[in-house]
Structure 1
Amino acid sequence: MSTYNQLAADIIANVGGKDNIKSLRHCITRLRFQLKDESKANDSYLKNKEGIITTLSAAGEYMVVIGEHVPDVFKEVSRQLGREAEEDAPATFDDEKKSSLVDRFLKLIMACMGPTLNLLSAAGIIKGLTVILTMVGIPTDSGIYMLANAAGDALFFGLPVMLGFNVAKYLKIDPYFGFLFGAALTYPAIQGVDLNFELFKINATYISSFLPVFFGLLVAAPLWKFFNKRLPNAIKGFLTPLLTLIIAFPLTFILIGPIANAIGTGIAVGMDFLFVKTPFFAYVILGLLWQVLVMFGVHGILAMFAFYSLLEGNPSALLAATGGAPWGIVGITLAISLFAKNDNLKRTSAPSLASAVIGVTEPAMYGIIVPRKILLLISCLAGGLGGLIAAIFSMKAYTFTGMGPMALLGSINPDDPQILPIVLIVVVPLVAGFLLTKVLYKETDDTKVQNNISDKSTGVEKHGASNRVISIQAPVTGVVKSVIKSSDEVFASEALGKGVVIVPSSDTVFALISGTVKTVFPTGHAIGIVGENGEEVLIHVGINTVNLQGKYFSPKVLQGDTVHAGEVLVDFDKGALEQLGYNTEVMMIVTIQMTF
């Protein structure tokens, strides 16, 4: 049995079950689901499940952040969903035709480029090492240099062949036809020479290109499927690729390829304009916002353009601009690990620091930085300083060499190697993150609230970190117990926060504090309030009453309303709920840490 068998089962169940999953893929730290209905996902359970860092939703995907073990979890989830995991394509479990054209196009690009990234990293490291060889005096005509250079360049030389295989596989045609198609486009004898036709000449080069084979196979795939469906079984094995090739290959080489190359040139020119004409704006803003983009899981869209440039053999300013941001996270987590007094926080910081050093910042982001606004601000400032260093030295990534320290090799300019910019883009964000955290972060404002729960129906007292006492009125009359005695296992586990459970003797819920209504669930069974001192509380009426779709609940407030302690929030029909077999316990939970 897989180590991740139970975790995978819990994930599937709490994203709404197998029938709610349209597709699944993964990136370096997270599972990325497309769900039919995201409201079916149980955020609270997943966020507090051991083995899961957090969940979030962005760019049409529901993401379950796992960390470095995500490939293994992905394989187990895919297995339980009835399909063996494939690293080079999303595991699709439903028809995706309902998704937008843009979403489908982006997923196709990412799925086809994704399998090349590890190989690109390996080849890039070798290319970086060849630069170091020249720096230490190894001549470029020496055997060791020439072999290393060949190993580093091979991926780019044969790129259309590899990508042709990936694209064809994703489009559900024979991947070896994609291999053949890419090989035909890059046949040496027809690269960069005049090909004479009756009415015109064409001169094109497709070695180290991506878009020509990509767009060419988008045209070839429907032809393949058309012929494969209609030709007799006895001859379609060879006739389908023959007919597809003699139509799609010339069309791509003569027409589609030049257009695709022009698009690639336009992308490169646009990127160059941003980073050459407005360097401080482009570099610094991107550095400032990079960790926020990572936090929401949309950084991959921008990274796609950077990888495209590298695959085309062009250096990427975008990767250089964001290269300092992870080192800012290292500085922040290092400061926390050294100076934090809270044992839980200190324990969290150690593995997060180790992960950040190798370039995986999500554990630190979600576990330490995002819940603390000042640390999130510091991470942005540190990333911006990294962008500033990149702007001052006009840094670029010349190849992709992975993450963490290995990523630095890719930023060494092979024509003019300089070590100072590489050192500064690490040291400046790291030191800034460390010092700003040491000076600005006050742990006394961040300790968890210790809840002294009085077993009375008249009120509950909460003691904050500064020993200031806030009196919280009971939201409903009845018998008050610790929330750990709730019949709901999620609330009882205190995964959502500490609080009380009340067995109600009435059917009117009152505001327990004065403040602003943050949330009114559409069904009316749950209301969140932000108090005047920043405390956040959730009132949840009944267990599984969300299934009633609002029946028997009558909310009296709207989101954004200002309420006073004792004001009526919602009426509910206690008798009707109990007659239907629903547990009517009312949970009152402090959902976040209170600061004073």
Structure 2
Amino acid sequence: MGKYDKDTRELLEAVGGKANISAVTHCLTRMRFVLNESEKVDEKRIENIPSVKGMFTNAGQFQVIIGNDVAVFYNDFVAASGIKGVSKDAAKAAAKQNQNPLQRAITMLAEIFTPILPAIIVGGLILGFRNILEAVPMGWLNGQTIVEASTFWNGVNGFLWLPGEAIFHFLPVGITWSIARKMGATEILGIVLGITLVSPQLLNAYAVNSTAAAEIAKNWTWDFGFFTVDKIGYQAQVIPAMLAGFLFVYLERFFRKHIPEAVSMIFVPFFSLLPTILAAHIVLGPVGWKIGTIISSVVNAGLTSSFSWLFGGVLGALTSPLVITGLHHTTLAIDSQLIADFGSTNLWPILCLSNIAQGASVLAVVFAHRGNKKEEQVSIPSTISAWLGVTEPAMFGINLKYTYPFIAAMIGSGIAGLFVTLFKVRALSIGVGGLPGILSIRPQDYLIFLIGMVIAIVVPFFLTLMFRRAGVFNKIDRIEEEIVPTLGGDQSEKTDTIVELFSPIPGVIHPLSSSKDPVFSEGMMGQGVVIEPSEGKVVAPFDGQVSLLFPTKHALGLVSPGGIEVLIHIGIDTVQLDGNHFTSHVKQGDSVKKGQILMEFDMEAIKAAGYEVQTPVIVTNSTQFHVDSLIEAASKVTNEEKILLATEL
């Protein structure tokens, strides 16, 4: 009988039995199931299994968190169930069966726009700064704009149009490249395809509406004798570029399969690219433009109708839940289309205020829990990051944990969204969410949007404190349940085991909530920190024993003589590398001394393979130890510095 025989049999029944399992595998900490019918899962029953630390569903996989002993658990599960495990790639492929078409579309949209998002954000900041220079009359300049009063700033303004135009006018190039990259097609051909949509030989999309049809027919057409094609560009257009990109990918896949390899280098690009370009200008471009126009018109109508206040309020309140589900990625395409069609967007200002509201709720938690130094290492940076445009640390690190701050932020964001929509606030570009977002707003709307920002700060802040005091949406942070530590009293009888952890990797330290893996960031595996390595070398943080060395070498577990269990997980999802770029200098069961080299890894090769190298260092038996961080967030650390202090409870 295996160590986890009872638990694995219980889990097998709780997930719906053998017949409900399409595939099963495991990584360093989790059992990963692909289930035929997810509704058969009995989560309450799974929660009561002693060896289970948590569960969640991601990308079509039902994942059960076991911890360091997952390999043993997995073997016992296979023995108990009679199910043969599969590779992680096979499990991912099988998981697609559990994603509905909407989920697949959202995932695809997110994966297309994520690589080009930094350029769009930078472009938004640039255009926002140009708005201030050229469109805002300054009282201290006698009503002139800055560019009217200064030759230098006029030159700066003109120069900044260069990157601004490159980012937004040539957006289709980024989209077709990203689609080719995501779907495994030839990336350079994706770039070429995008260029053919915005070539200087075409009539610029921004000039189409002001150009007479007769002039287009005379000067902007290709005449093939028996038919003509308009030479229309698709600058800043999203949907035409996406349609063209997908057609190119599927044509290339088709011709790769049917053209002999000996001549594929010549004929596959030729037969994939040219038909796509032709189809893009004859069918896909005009149709995509029309679809985009309809979508943007509907959204714009909703936000400018007599019920716009309701539309803005609901959208403002629901923005944060949309971030959790990933649906917020769909708004980027809509914003881009609104700007292309109307010169500005009334959607993005609402989304921007949600970031501010989430940060304000965390700030209220900081105020309510002032003196809690451990939590402040998460909450204070989370407030700052939310106000600078990144809400995930705030939401997952604090607000969702307590619930009531998240609800307060939703309400505040909804009220702020209602307010700015009522006053018809619009943005000239997509910018950085949060406080810098005002740079993207039309100059004439600055004052109203500023008031909206104040609403998004004040309302969530006070609602959070009110909900906490009243116990509304609050089961774990009630004031009457707080335990105030006493400074007096006899401390002489305390004989806790105390273990100091030195940094196993040199680099920059961050709160665990900043991890890009939710299993770590939400504390499911225990408490600790994240290190951005500056060197690909792992050393022992204390004297102890190697309790776990995963076959893929991307992670290892250590145990101290005092019983503290530590997990060092090199990178995120690096299990997929199957041990490539990792060199182990120890084996499971070895005794090690502090500072002894345990593992080496090639940071650049791992990054080149598309993986993060941020490394969580976690005390996995945190229920038995109180864990304190000894280093401020964003500080540089060496192997000689203590980063964690674990005290036995």
Q: Same fold (TM over 0.5)?
A: yes
Q: CA deviation at 1:251?
A: 2.0
Structure 2 matches for 1:63-462, cutoff 5 A? 93-94=92-93, 98=97, 99-134=99-134, 135=136, 136-139=145-148, 142-191=154-203, 193-203=220-230, 204-277=232-305, 278-307=307-336, 309-310=338-339, 314-340=343-369, 343=372, 347=376, 349-372=379-402, 374-410=404-440, 412-413=441-442, 416-442=443-469
SS at match of 1:323: helix
Query: Structure 2 length normalisation: TM-score?
Result: 0.54
CA distance in 1 between counterparts of 2:156 and 2:393 reads 40
SS at match of 1:207: coil
Q: CA deviation at 1:387?
A: 0.7
Q: Which runs of 5+ in 1 are unaligned?
A: 1-9, 23-33, 65-80, 84-90, 451-463, 468-493, 498-596
1:16 is matched with 31
Does the 8 Å contact 1:329/1:364 carry over to 2? Answer: yes
SS at match of 1:195: strand
Q: CA deviation at 1:367?
A: 4.3
Change (3 A) 1:330 1:108: closer
RMSD: 4.4
Change (3 A) 1:299 1:103: same
Does the 8 Å contact 2:199/2:233 carry over to 1? Answer: no
Does the 8 Å contact 2:112/2:178 carry over to 1? Answer: yes
Please list the CA deviations of residues 121-169 of structure 1 after superposition, one character each: whole Å capped at 9, or x if unmatched.
Answer: 1111111111111234214993321111121111122222222211122
Change (3 A) 1:404 1:287: same
CA distance in 2 between counterparts of 1:109 and 1:208 reads 17
Change (3 A) 1:328 1:109: closer
Structure 2 matches for 1:23-62, cutoff 5 A? 57=57
SS at match of 2:427: coil
Change (3 A) 1:210 1:344: same
CA distance in 1 between counterparts of 2:429 and 2:393 reads 26
Does the 8 Å contact 1:21/1:94 carry over to 2? Answer: no
Identity of aligned residues (%): 21
Please list the CA deviations of residues 487-531 of structure 1 after superposition, one character each: whole Å capped at 9, or x if unmatched.
Answer: xxxxxxx9899xxxxxxxxxxxxxxxxxxxxxxxxxxxxxxxxxx
Does the 8 Å contact 2:350/2:417 carry over to 1? Answer: yes
Change (3 A) 1:448 1:94: closer
Change (3 A) 1:417 1:226: same
SS at match of 1:16: strand
1:269 aligned partner, one-letter code? S
CA distance in 2 between counterparts of 1:439 and 1:250 reads 61
2:284 aligned partner, one-letter code? I
Query: Structure 1 length normalisation: TM-score?
Result: 0.58
- Further displaced range: 353-362 or 295-304: 295-304
CA distance in 1 between counterparts of 2:114 and 2:226 reads 40
CA distance in 1 between counterparts of 2:227 and 2:336 reads 34
Please list the CA deviations of residues 202-249 of structure 1 after superposition, one character each: whole Å capped at 9, or x if unmatched.
Answer: 323222222223212322333322333333434321222122233222
CA distance in 1 between counterparts of 2:315 and 2:324 reads 14
2:124 aligned partner, one-letter code? G
SS at match of 2:352: coil
SS at match of 1:328: helix
Does the 8 Å contact 1:124/1:399 carry over to 2? Answer: yes
Please list the CA deviations of residues 260-300 of structure 1 after superposition, one character each: whole Å capped at 9, or x if unmatched.
Answer: 11111111111111111131011111112222333455433
Does the 8 Å contact 1:164/1:217 carry over to 2? Answer: yes
Residue correspondences, number: 406
Q: Which runs of 5+ in 2 are unaligned?
A: 1-24, 65-86, 137-144, 205-219, 484-522, 527-649
Change (3 A) 1:444 1:109: closer
CA distance in 1 between counterparts of 2:188 and 2:287 reads 25
1:339 aligned partner, one-letter code? A
CA distance in 2 between counterparts of 1:247 and 1:281 reads 46
Does the 8 Å contact 1:210/1:312 carry over to 2? Answer: no
1:592 is matched with none
Does the 8 Å contact 1:15/1:40 carry over to 2? Answer: no
Structure 2 matches for 1:468-483, cutoff 5 A? none
Change (3 A) 1:169 1:313: farther
